[in-house]
Amino acid sequence: MASEEDEDPIWITDNAPFVVVTDPLDGSRNIDASIPTGTIFGKYKRLSGTKLIAAGYVVYSSATILCVSFGLGTHAFTLDRTTGDFVLTHPSIKVPPRGQIYSVNDARYFDWPEGLRRYIDTIRQGKGRNSKKYSARYICSLVADFHRTLMYGGVAMNPRDHLRLVYEANPLSFLVEQAGGRGSNGKSRILSIQPVKLHQRLPLFLGGLEDIEELESYGDVQQKITPGYEV
Ligand SMILES: O=P(O)(O)OC[C@H]1O[C@](O)(COP(=O)(O)O)[C@@H](O)[C@@H]1O
Cβ–ligand 1 distance for 149 under 6 Å, the answer: no
Q: Distance between CA 19 and CA 86 in Å, rounded?
A: 25
Nearest to 156 by CA among 165, 147, 166: 147
pLDDT higher than 80, residue 71: yes
12 and 46 in a single domain? The answer is yes
CA of 38 to the centre of ligand 1 (A): 12
Minimum CA distance residue for ligand 1 atom 5: 140
CA of 142 to the centre of ligand 1 (A): 7
105 and 73 in a single domain? The answer is no
Which residue blocks in the chain are alpha helix, DSSP H? 114-124, 142-152, 170-178, 209-216
pLDDT more than 90, % of the chain:
95
Chain segment 7-16, per-residue pLDDT in tens: 999 999 988 8
In which band, very low, low, confident or very high, does the pLDDT at 174 lie, cut at 50, 70 and 90? Answer: very high
Handedness of CA 174, 157, 144, 41 (dihedral sign): positive
Last residue of a domain, one of 65, 90, 115: 90
Chain segment 79-95, per-residue pLDDT in tens: 999 999 999 999 999 99
> Stretch 67-85: mean pLDDT, rounded?
98
Minimum CA distance residue for ligand 1 atom 10: 27
Question: Looking at the domain assignment, is residue 222 inside a domain?
Answer: no
Cβ–ligand 1 distance for 141 under 6 Å, the answer: yes
Using an 8 Å Cβ cutoff, are 204 and 216 in contact?
A: no
Q: Which atom of ligand 1 is nearest to the CA of 27?
A: 18
**Global confidence as pTM:** 0.97
- What's the domain range around 108? 101-216
Question: Looking at the domain assignment, is residue 95 inside a domain?
Answer: no
CA of 131 to the centre of ligand 1 (A): 30
CA of 169 to the centre of ligand 1 (A): 12
Residues 6+ apart with CB under 8 A from 10: 1, 2, 3
Strand partners, 40: 23, 57
In which band, very low, low, confident or very high, does the pLDDT at 47 lie, cut at 50, 70 and 90? Answer: confident
- Domain with residue 69: its CATH number is 3.30.540.10
Per DSSP, the three-state class of 81 is coil
CA of 134 to the centre of ligand 1 (A): 23
> Stretch 38-60: mean pLDDT, rounded?
92
pLDDT higher than 80, residue 50: no
150 and 80 in a single domain? The answer is no
Cβ–ligand 1 distance for 105 under 6 Å, the answer: yes
Q: Distance between CA 126 and CA 155 in Å, rounded?
A: 15
CA of 162 to the centre of ligand 1 (A): 7
pLDDT higher than 90, residue 144: yes
- Which pLDDT belongs to residue 15? 87
Please tell me what DSSP assigns to residue 229.
Answer: -
Chain segment 107-133, per-residue pLDDT in tens: 999 999 999 999 999 999 999 999 999
Q: Are strands 135-136 and 101-103 parallel, antiparallel or unpaired?
A: parallel
Question: Looking at the domain assignment, is residue 136 inside a domain?
Answer: yes
Provide the domain count of the chain.
2
- Which pLDDT belongs to residue 218? 98
18 and 43 in a single domain? The answer is yes
Last residue of a domain, one of 55, 90, 125: 90
Question: Looking at the domain assignment, is residue 144 inside a domain?
Answer: yes
Cβ–ligand 1 distance for 211 under 6 Å, the answer: no
Residues 6+ apart with CB under 8 A from 121: none
- Which pLDDT belongs to residue 49? 64
Instruction: Specify the amino acid at residue 124.
Output: R
Mutate to test the pocket of ligand 1, among 31, 142, 166, 200 (most ligand atoms within 8 A of CB): 142
- Which pLDDT belongs to residue 14? 85
Query: Mean pLDDT over all residues of the chain?
Result: 96
> Stretch 198-221: mean pLDDT, rounded?
98
pLDDT higher than 90, residue 172: yes
- Domain with residue 159: its CATH number is 3.40.190.80
Nearest to 191 by CA among 209, 214, 175, 179: 175
Cβ–ligand 1 distance for 162 under 6 Å, the answer: yes
Chain segment 154-163, per-residue pLDDT in tens: 999 999 999 9
169 and 66 in a single domain? The answer is no
pLDDT higher than 80, residue 103: yes
